[in-house]
Every structure is written in C-alpha cells, then in structure tokens.
Structure 1
C-alpha cells in the first residue's frame, strides 16, 4: 500500500512539474508574441514621425530586422530557452522605451533637439546590441524548426516596402542555425532574383545579406548551401551597379576558395562571377593576390584533376581573357604555359569555349610580337585554320568570324606567319567563304584578303592560283559601297603580279565586268581611282592593252580624260603611247 502511495505521490509531482514547465513555456511564447506585436505597432507609428527623419528611418530598419528575427524564433522549438527569454525581455523593455520616445516625437513634446538626438542614438545602439545577441543564439544552433509560417513572395508589381519585408524575412532565415531552413531561404532568394531583377537592388541595399552569402561560401560545409550561395552571387554579379557591393563585402577570396575546393556546380558559378567581376580590370590585382589566376589556369588545363567541362572552363577562360590587359599578370600566364593550354581549347566542341579561347589568344598576343611568334611556334596558326575547315559542321558562323578576326590580327605582321597560313590551306578556306559564306563572313573574308595580298608576293601568287580574281571581280557589282571598295583594293594588289595579270586578261568575262564599271549608266561604279589602278596594271600586258583599246568602253574612259580626270588622262596617254610604239615597231620591221 505504501508503495502504491509512493507511486501516486511521484506521479503527482511529475504532473505538477510538467504543468509548471508548460505554464513557463506558454508564458515565454506569449511574451515573445507580445514583443513582436509591440514592434509591429512601433514600426507603424514611426511612419507618422516628421522630425529626425534620417534617424527614425535607421531605427525602423533595425526594428524590421529584429522583428523578422523574433518571428523566426517563434517558429522554433527553443522559445522557452533561458538565454533567449532574457534577450526577449530586454528587447521588450527597449521597445517600450522606444514607444515613449516615438510618442514624444509625434507630439513634439521633447525638451530639446540635442537631447532627443542623443536619446535616439542610444536607442539605435541598443537595438544593434539586441540584434547581435539574437544572432549569437542563432549561431549557437539551439533553435530547431517547429513549423514554418513562410512569408509569401509578393506578386508582380509589388511595392518596394513589401519586397524589402520579404527579403528581410529570407535573410533572417539564412541566419538561423538549422541547415534546412538556410537551404530553403537561399532557394527562395535565388528564385526571386532570377524571376524579378528588382529584387537584386533590394538585396544590394541590404548589404548585410551579401556578407552572409560570403560567409556561406567561405565556411559552410554544406555543399548545397555553398552551391546556392554561389548561384545567388553569380546572379548579382551580372548587374554592373552591384559589383562594387560584392567587392566591398570581400567576395573575391571566398569565390576563389570555392573555385579551388568546391563542388562542380559551385566552381561553375564561382567562375561565372569572377568572369563578370574581372570585366573591371581594377579587380584583377585582388584576384591575383588571392591566387585566383593560378586557380583559373588549373581549371582551364584540367590541372585540378577534374574532367574539363565547357560550362566550367568557358567562364574561367573568359575571366583570364579579361585579365591579360594587366602586363604582369599576362607575363605570369605565359610563364605558366597558358598559350599551349588555350591552343588546345580551340579544339573544343563548345561554341562559347572556342570563342573565348580564340579571343584569349588574340588578346594576349595583341601588340606583343614575341608572344605572336610564340603562338605561331606552338601551333596557334594551324589551330585557327583548323577551326575554319568546312568539314567541321559543328563550327558556327560566330566561331568562324572570331577565328578570321584572330587571323587578321595575328598573322599579317610577318612573312613567316603568312607562309604558314598558305601551308595549312588557309587560301582555300578563304575562297570558300567568299563563294559560300554569309554576308558578314564574306565581308570579313574580303577584308582578310586585302591584308593577305597586301603583305606578301607569295600570298598574291597563291591567291591567283586559287582563282581569287574571278570571285573578287564579281563583288565590283555589289550594292554595298564598302564591299565594292574592298574588292577593288584586293584586285589592285593582286594584278601587280605579272602571272596574275595574264590570268585576269585571259578571262574575257573578267575584263568585261571590270570595264563595265566605267559605263556612265552604272549606278554602282565605286571608287574610280582603284579601278584605274587595276587598268593601269593590266596595260603592262600586251593582251590587256589590246582588250582595253578595242573594247566599247574606251570611249567612256576618253570622255573622262576630256573632263580632266587625271587617272583617265594617264591611262589614255599610256594606251596612245603604246599604240604609237607598236606602229613604229611594225614600220621598222
């Protein structure tokens, strides 16, 4: 019986203890709820205050952050925690005092401006202290998610205040120690930024959130949290006005650490961010100082042991391309073997990677003859010609344009490079683009043709053998004045070679198309100076002189001579002199 009574006594004590705990828990929760409601009321009251506007705006921002933090605590299992209860009690006391100060400001019933300003500064500092204390509780990891009253993202066209409230709620959840809550908050933030770029401005205004992202990149051991943070930074870095905020938050060092040690997805997003941040060359030294150049080079060469992925190497390649403008960094890259690495990347089947690698080679060799020679020695010219091969069906028009521009900028500085182009079959590729290319490619091919035949006798002969002149003369009838000019200039260069002159004159169609340009009825006659230059060269050939002299278009040239056109007078004079010499030669014989 005594045993039964003892059991009943223990059971009663246990129930009493549970009841007391429940009562304390309920009291803690109600105190928390009252504090949240009091802050909400105070925020509303603050909007009616007309004086000390800047100070009240700062206080209101701090109250909103504190409110979001407390609402997050309300959704956790540790609201009865003793330390937390003390913090809530302190916040409640400060908020009550703030209510009193707010009423005095509304009613203009304070004793003096200086004293009120001092009171507001003290109040602001106390709110900062409460926020730090609450943050320490978050970081201690004692809060466990109980249920989620997630603030829904405002719809399209929402006002800035609603957007700020949503982002503050997300930021608060990012600070909570629970990993699941952080992941969900990051996911919500990423979706908001991607779907509506107005949220980017809100995030940047709340610069604290950028610092939180930087810490996640740097110290989080949760792969998902790191990846989501990298994705968010990548989105923000795409907005020029936001880059300063990212740099100010010290984002470069964490991005480079992700590049070195992160997951594949994390590395891809970090590389994208670095590519965008290096568009401003002022950030180059910071990236170099944290080992970023070495990390980017390793990714491009596969030196980090991972398989080369276009999604990763493309932006890494783009970042390095942005950095070659800094002479010291360029020299370091060359010493690290970057040229052979990027020549290898031109073989990629990914368009973006091909374009980035070709542009990198072009940029690093620009204005530097020693590096241009190095590019040629290590097979860069052959690689560029290979990109242009017609058999490469995967090669897009944009890639071909990029390769042609690189050849134009890299290969016409010395005769050796031109000889290599001819050796690797570039002349045939150039002819193909003149005959079959899209308009943009054709114009670029014409431009390259001028450069090529203007620099080398070998090139003129090779282009003559490939029947370039027949194609070029067709462009004299183009609707585009620029195209007609380029075709005439290329022809003018080519017919300075005797063999090319004979070949041109032998084709009656060539002569006819050329002489038609002197018909007054032709609208697209173009620059007569270049056309006269071609005819003057052709008069050095007997059959050329005869065909000009016996053509029906000679009278047009003579008419121009009568009109005092100097080039026409020179041509008529040369034709007349040669006819007179022929007559004397016939009489003598």
Structure 2
C-alpha cells in the first residue's frame, strides 16, 4: 500500500513534458509487442491501427502553445500512458499464451480497443474545444463531487475546463465535472451560460443517455437551467434533447421527471419545437404527468400541453390522445391554481376554430365544468374565452338550464378585463333573437357593459360597444340605455377618429339608436359629438353623416333653449335695427323698441312681462309697485340712466381687469416658452391651454371696450361722434360676440 502511494505521488510530481516523453516512448514498444502476437489476429490488427494514430495525436497536442500550462493535457497523457501500458501487458500475455480463456481475452482486447478509441477522440476534442487556450492551475479538487468552499470561490476554477471534462475521459470523470458545474450554477448560473458552447451542450445531451440514474438526474437539472435561460434552445433541440427529455418523463425519477417537464414547458413556447414534441411522441407522457404527477410537474405538463395546443395543426392529435377529458378533470380538481389556468387556456385554444373539438368538449360536459370554475372570486380570461367559443354551438335554453346568465353577470362584475371582454363577445354570439336580448337586459348586462366602455384597452371598449349595439336593436333595451346617465358620455368618447379606436362604428350605431331622445341628443352635443362626427363624416364612416345631421339640429335647439342666448340674439336684432334706423322714426326703430322689450322679458323672467305697462295703459291685476313706477316717467328715465351708467362702469372695470389678466398670461406664456423648445411648445397641453385663455381674454377685452362705446351712445354723452348708427354697429358686433361666447365649449378628450 505504501509502495502504491509512493508511485502515485511520483507520478503527480512529473511534469507534462515528462509524461509526453513517457507516452512517446511507450508507443513503439506497444506497436512492436502487438505485432509479435500470433493469436487473435483480427483484434490485434485493429489495435495496431489505433496505436499507429497515437503519435500524430500526441504531436498535435504538444504543439499547442499552452500545452505545458494546462492540467487537462497532463491528465490526458496519464490516461494514454495507462492505456499503452495495458496494451503492452496484454500483448505479453498473448505472446506467452498465458491467458486463462479465449473469451476473457477477447473481452479484454475489445475493452482495450475501446479505450484507444476514447483516447484518440479525447485528444482531438481537447484541441477543438479551445480549452487549451485557457491557462489554469486548478487541481483535481475542482472536480471533486463536493468541491470545497475555497475551490468554488477561487478565481482559478476554470468553467471552460469543467465543460471540456464533460466531453473527454471516462464516465466517472464526467460525473465529477458535472457535479462541479451544478454547484457553480447554484451560485452563479450566468458565469456558466456566458462560456457555454454548442459542443458543451452536445456533451450534456449525450450524458442524458448514461446508465447511471444519478448522472441523468443531474444532467436534466443542468439542461432545465439552460432551457429556462432561453439562451441555447436551438442547440438543445438540434443536438436531440427532446427524445431524451421525453424518455426521462416516461421512466425517470421524480426529480428527473419534474426537471424534464419544466424543460419541455420552456422549449414548447416555440411552435416548431411544439410540433417536434408531438412528433417524438411526447403528448402521452405529458398527459400521464397531468393525471399522476406532483403539483409542480402537473402544472409544468399542463403548461406544455397548453403551449402545444396553440399550434392549430396538432390539435386533432391532442384530442386523439384524450387531452379534452384530462384538461376538464384538471380544471375541476387541479392541485395548483396555475394548473387550472393552464387547463382553461388549453381548452380555449382547442375550441378556437375547430367545430369538431367544440362538440367533443361539450359532449364531455365542458360547459358545466367551465361555468363551475367561473364561480370563483376573480374569473380569468381563459375559462370565459373557452366558454365564449362554445356558446354558439348550443341553444340558449340549454345554457339557461346550466345557469349561464348569472355566471355571465358575475364575470362582467368581478372578472379580469380580459374575462369581461370575452363575456361581451359571448353576448354578441348568443343574442340571435329578441327573447334572448330581452333576457340579457333583464339580467342586468346593460349597465355593466356601459361601465365597460370606460375600460383602458381599446379591445375591451370595442366589444362592449359591439354588445350594446347588438342589444339595442330591441326597443325595450334601447329605453334602458337612455335611462343610464353614463351611456351617452361614454359612447361620445368612442367617436374619437383616431385610427387605433376601432369602437367608433359601434358607438355610432348606439348613438343613432339614442338620437330619437331629445335629452340624449342634447347630451351628445354638450359632450362634443359634433366635432368628432365632422371628422368621421370626412372619413366616410357609415352612419356618421346621419348622426351629424341630428346632432347639428339638436345644437340649434339646445342653443335657442337658453334664455341668455335668446337675449343676445334679440340684442343683435335690436342694435342692428338701431344701426339701420339711425335714430329716425320708422319700421327699424319700432323693431328696436320691441326687441328691447323682449330682452327685458328674457332677463327678468316671465313675471317682468308686467313692465309692458310702462309703455301702455295699466291692465287690471298689475302689481302696485309697477303701477306707481309707471305713474312717474321722470323717475323711470332716471333709473334707466343710472342703470346705463352702472353698465358703463362695469364695462370699464371689465376692460381694466382683462388688460391686467392679459398681461399676466403674457408673462406666464413667455416663461413657459423658455422652458420648452420652440418645436415642442405647440405639442404641450399647458401651453395650448394658455393660448386658448389668452384668445378668450382678448375677445372679452374687445367686447368690453366696445360696450363702453355703446353705453356712451345710449347715454348720448358724445352725440356727434357716437350717433345712433355707430351705437347700433358696435352693439350689433358685441351681441354677436356674446352669442359666440355662449356656444358649448369643446370637451376635453380622454387620454388613453
């Protein structure tokens, strides 16, 4: 034992050059001995041919610049020397014919031939991997099955060398290298991924065929990490990892099955790889995992099958393997919530476009199972999406017996946005008769769909508007929509002409149905529908022109319904008449006086109609204060003059206020212009708002200044300069400005 240890220590002390020299000396001896053997000629001929290739490989290895600095070279030369010594020993036995039996010797010679093949291959790989370019002084502790903390933390640990060890040497050495890589990946996975090459991936895939279950299990763990990283999917698949992973799922350990299933879950995200999994017979093992696996494996298998079901051409194959029944069982009794979600997504994919598969799901009780799953507190899109695909294949009576409507309302109330969107589409598909539409309204769907019009995503708003336009074809439902205060505002917002807004055609359809109501038309106008509809008419959107005509008529009615608007129109007529009459008696002056009286009615409400008594005999029932006022014409004229002076004073004050406000706005705009670049200021909301305020204030300043002139004319303070015609002209212009100011303001559009 002591002698053996001394021999090992002596070998360890030798340099790589000494090992090269030793191997080169052994080669001719081995060849010479092999040629002297008379027995087993076929086997020895093969061995000699391999021995003759050794010098060339040793020469290639020794010619590398880093040959003397790499630990792998020394270890490889030790292995080659050991094989050469074995060849010499077997040759001596055969020459002396001292072997115990022919069969045993044949086996030994076959083993020797295999070792020589391995040595030649490893020498070639050692150069091809490029690992010789990495200077390293790592010791054998780097590849021990349990590396010490020092070896793990040391910068001398060469990951490329460990990866190279996966390709060269015997199985036990590869096992130790694999252990070291697993330990490093636990601490720093990125360091391994950064130096990984295709040849290393190929070596890992080859290790999955090892006879040792432990090696296969650890290899699958490494491959799982590689698959999850997403950095070498193509290499894994091209090197044939899929059949190996499927075999592990079929017959591996629990941990191996879990890691293999997770690997397939990640790889199956590619449609091409999903097809390949089906082609390699991976569907049945995955289905078995769904029925018998633990929670993690079950969820991974369900997700893999869900990914595969995205590919339309393999859906029928999945159905033939019995996936429908398995997914429905998983939806009802899956271990993890994620497993149920994956099952629902799989069913949604399977029923997306294949009527045969829809019938199969319905026959297996799929609608009942999906409805039961939707009873949860927060229904998600996949289950509702699968149900949406199925409802068109059955009658509404059948759905009613299963409690479809209460679940639908529950999804619209409490479901995720995607689930609500799927529910709205389901409404569109089942509402094929007036009875069904009325039932939907009675169940309370309309208010929920109106609320859904406020959703953040364009898709959700579109399907909500589509569902409402479908339901509104029934007069009863249209009345329900008119009663809701949010229906018109929400629908008007969907008239936005932005190309990304795909809901506008359905919004127009809904608003056309509501436009029979005067209240709804007034709301459309007040929320800015006309501006949108003009653009939509130019875009030739169906129904936009008709709705615009109704909205414009409603705008006129809405404007004229305002007492103040009627007052300003009468004011314009009054001052226009004054301009025409120029203070001379005639029809124009009569119109001036009559419109002045009408304006008093508009401003002082109906009970002031009794002021007519000022210019006509007092009728019976006239209030006493007005009768007394009418008895004293001088007092009436005095009150009129005081009123005009007050109005002129207020106009002067308004003028001063507007001048001050314009100055403040001007400073604010200049400050904002400095903060914004010239090209950006007109895109800035704050700057545009300031410009709008400035324009409004400027118009108000012009009106106030002109009102001062009108007041001077009415008071006859400068009769030569401000005659009745000038007064009428200025009054007419200020009246038009007042009418413009009373127009409905442009609404603020919602920013999506």
1:500 equivalent in structure 2: 477
Matched ranges for 1:461-500 at <5 A: 461-475=438-452, 485-500=462-477
| Structure 2, gaps ≥5 residues long | 23-58, 88-116, 127-138, 497-502, 538-544, 555-752
Tell me by how many angstroms 1:266 deviates: 0.3
Residues 340-384 of structure 1 show CA distances to partners (whole Å, capped at 9, x for unaligned) of 111111122413322222222222333211111111221222222
Q: What is the DSSP-based 3-state SS (H/G/I as helix, E as strand, rest coil) of the residue aligned with 1:411?
A: helix
Residue in structure 2 matched with residue 122 of structure 1 by the alignment: none
- Alpha carbons of 1:217 and 1:378: their partners in 2 closer, same or farther (altered >3 Å)? same
**1:411 equivalent in structure 2:** 390
1:131 aligned to 2:111?
Answer: no
Which of 408, 428, 444 is equivalent to 1:430?
Answer: 408
1:153: how far off?
A: 6.5
Matched, 1:388 2:374: yes
Contact residue 365 and residue 372 of structure 1 kept, 8 A: yes
**Equivalent residue, structure 1, for 2:179:** 187
What is the Cα deviation at residue 458 of structure 1?
A: 5.2
Q: What CA distance in whole angstroms lies between the structure 1 residues aligned with 2:529 and 2:121?
A: 95
Taking the TM superposition and a 5 Å limit, the aligned residue runs for 1:249-260 are 249-260=239-250
State which of 522, 526, 530 in structure 2 corresponds to 1:553. 522
Written as runs of structure 1 = structure 2, the 5 A alignment for 1:278-357 is: 278-283=268-273, 286-288=276-278, 290-300=280-290, 302=291, 307-324=292-309, 329-347=314-332, 348-357=334-343
Q: 1:477 to 1:312 in 2, by over 3 A?
A: closer
With over 3 angstroms needed to count, the CA separation of the structure-2 counterparts of 1:289 and 1:35, relative to structure 1, is: farther
Aligned positions of 1:338-377 closer than 5 A: 338-347=323-332, 348-377=334-363
CA distance in 2, matches of 1:58, 1:240: 38
State yes or no: 1:30 paired with 2:30: no
Three-state SS of the structure 1 residue aligned to 2:197 is helix
1:436-585 correspondence to structure 2 within 5 Å: 436-437=414-415, 440-441=417-418, 444=421, 447-448=424-425, 451-452=428-429, 455=432, 457=434, 459-475=436-452, 485-501=462-478, 503-504=480-481, 508=483, 510=484, 512-514=485-487, 530=506, 533-534=509-510, 537=513, 548-549=517-518, 553=522, 556=525, 565-567=545-547, 569=549
Looking at structure 2, the residues matched to 566 and 286 of structure 1 have their Cα atoms a distance apart, in angstroms, of: 56
Cα distance 1:153–1:462, how it changes in 2: closer, same or farther (>3 A)?
Answer: farther
Match of 2:296, SS state, is helix
> Relative to structure 1, is the Cα distance of residues 530 and 295 closer, same or farther in structure 2, using a 3 angstrom cutoff?
closer
Does structure 2 conserve the Cα–Cα contact (< 8 Å) formed by 1:218 and 1:257? no
The counterpart of 1:217, out of the listed 208, 211, 215, is 208
CA contact (8 A) 2:221 2:259 kept: yes
Q: Provide the C-alpha distance between the structure 1 equivalents of 2:405 and 2:312, rounded to a whole number of angstroms.
A: 34
1:196 maps to 189
Alignment check: 8 A CA contact 2:275 2:308 kept: no
TM-score relative to the length of structure 2? 0.50
* Aligned partner of residue 434 in structure 1, secondary structure: helix
**Preserved contact between residue 382 and residue 424 of structure 1 (Cα < 8 Å):** yes
**Alpha-carbon shift at residue 261 of structure 1 (Å):** 0.8
Distance 1:571 1:133 in 2: 82
SS of equivalent to 2:269: coil
| Pairwise CA distance, 1:469 | 1.7
Long gaps (5+) in structure 1: 1-17, 40-54, 88-124, 135-145, 540-544, 575-589
Q: What is the CA deviation profile of residues 233-281 of structure 1, one whole-angstrom value per residue up to 9, with x for unaligned ones?
A: 1111234452232233332222222111111110111112223333334
- Partner residue in 1 for 2:719: none
Deviations 1:144-194 (A, max 9, x none): xx98355867769x7xxx77x333236537866585x66553333134345
Q: Distance in 2 between matches of 1:551 and 1:364?
A: 44
Quote the residue 1:578 is aligned against.
Answer: none
Contact 1:272/1:315 (<8 A) preserved: yes
Cα deviations by residue, 1:321-356 (Å, 9 ceiling, x for unpaired): 343466774333322322111111112241332222
Q: Which one has a bigger Cα radius of gyration?
A: 2
Distance 2:523 2:4 in 1: 115
Distance 1:419 1:153, change over 3 A: farther
Contact 1:384 1:407 in 2 (8 A): yes
Q: Describe the shift of the 1:178–1:292 C-alpha distance in structure 2 as closer, same or farther (beyond 3 A).
A: closer
Q: 1:412 to 1:569 in 2, by over 3 A?
A: farther
Task: Give the conservation status (yes or no) of the 8 Å contact 1:412–1:451.
Answer: no
Structure 1 residues 25, 253: closer, same or farther in 2, change over 3 A?
A: same
CA contact (8 A) 2:530 2:552 kept: no
Instruction: Please state whether the residue corresponding to 2:232 is helix, strand or coil.
Output: helix
> What residue is the counterpart of 2:161 in the other structure?
168
State the secondary structure of the residue aligned to 1:238: helix
- The secondary structure found in structure 1 opposite 2:240 is coil
| TM-score where L is the length of structure 1 | 0.62
Q: CA deviation at 1:230?
A: 0.6
Q: Report how many residues are paired.
A: 454
Mapped to 2, the partners of 1:297 and 1:559 lie a distance apart of: 56
